Amino acid sequence: MQGVDQEVLKSARDWLRVAPVWLCTIVQTLGSSPRPVGSLVAITDDGRQVGSVSGGCIEEDLIERIRAGDFSGERPELIEYGVNAEENERLGLPCGGRITLLLQRLTEVDTPWVTSVLSALDKRRCIERHVELTTGATSLGSVAHFTSLELSTLRLRQCFGPRTRMLLVGSGQLAHSLAELGIAMDYEVIVTDPRQQFLDQWHGPVVQLVQGMPDDVIRDLASDQHSVIITLTHDPRIDDMALMEALGTNAWYVGALGSTRTTQKRLLRLRQLDVPEEQIARLHAPVGLDIGSKTPIEIAVSIMAELTQLRRRSAV
């Protein structure tokens, strides 16, 4: 499954083959907002849309205004929603919420940059879009890491990055629950297990299932800074092999399921296997926030909560 940005930009590229497209970006929020800064929606003149900047009411209003000819499209326009209580109520925005959108009309001359962004995302690279607000001219720049959206009086700078890939080592019940939540939160989930009989019993959501030794799978699929690797098998022969490889990669997060006692034994084994201390220090174990979770879905919630907490902190 593609990320939301990819879906929006892919639709925009396809639509540009026959007609112009309106690309709308959340560039500022104040108070509560149904969607974060950087969220996109693409809209055609006849009212088709992909993506979201709200729960739907803002998109409906934009479509009506586009059809009414309220926007010239000659240059990007900043549009503000939620300027008063009446508008908040009409649009279903949270109390006090305010959203500023940048509306840009794309034509066939924009197809190259849209295609280049999609290519970068396919290769799991970050890329920045620079939009001159006075002309609408768009250029691209390569960046090593994801950067926050910036808006000035003259230009917009927006970074597009690949979806975070979540590799789950082990295909048991907890992996089912974790995969469900991961997909719902826009992670690209892959499940691997060297035991084919366990993969054959997979009854979780539709994800990529990979049979193979975990160190090989990690090298092939989850070694970059946009990767999350979590071991779930309870089998030290599998989990330790995965962790030895994972801790030496650029993966953003490496976690291991287990109690505090199990974790202490695991750390001892990793030291006996000569894993460097600086790599061991990267391990999140026991995995997840301590919320007293017991059932698979509760443990999955604690893991996703920790990932969300770390992502939000790193974005500050």
Residue-wise DSSP of 135-181:
T--EEEEE-SS----EE-SSEEEEEE-PPPEEEEE--SHHHHHHHHH
- pLDDT tens-digit map of 255-293: 999 999 999 999 999 999 999 999 999 999 999 999 999
Query: In this structure, are residues 224 and 198 in contact, taking their beta carbons and an 8 Å threshold?
Result: no
pLDDT digits (tens, 9 = 90+) for 8-35: 999 999 999 999 999 999 999 887 677 7
Half-sphere exposure of 284 (CA within 13 A, CB side): 20
Query: What pTM does this model have?
Result: 0.71
d(CA 66, CA 72): 9
Give the ranges where the chain is alpha helix by DSSP (H).
Answer: 4-15, 57-67, 85-91, 111-122, 173-184, 196-200, 214-221, 236-246, 260-272, 277-280, 296-315
E strand or H helix at 191: strand 188-193
- For the chain, the domains span 4-114, 165-315
Per-residue pLDDT at 54: 85
The predicted structure's pLDDT at residue 98: 85
Residue identified by tokens 């034994």 is: 265
CATH number of 165-315: 3.40.50.720
- In whole angstroms, give the CA distance from residue 234 to residue 257: 7
Look at residues 173, 172, 219, 163 and name the one whose alpha carbon lies nearest to residue 195.
Answer: 172
Res 1: pLDDT: 44
> What is the pLDDT confidence band of residue 220, given thresholds at 50, 70 and 90?
very high
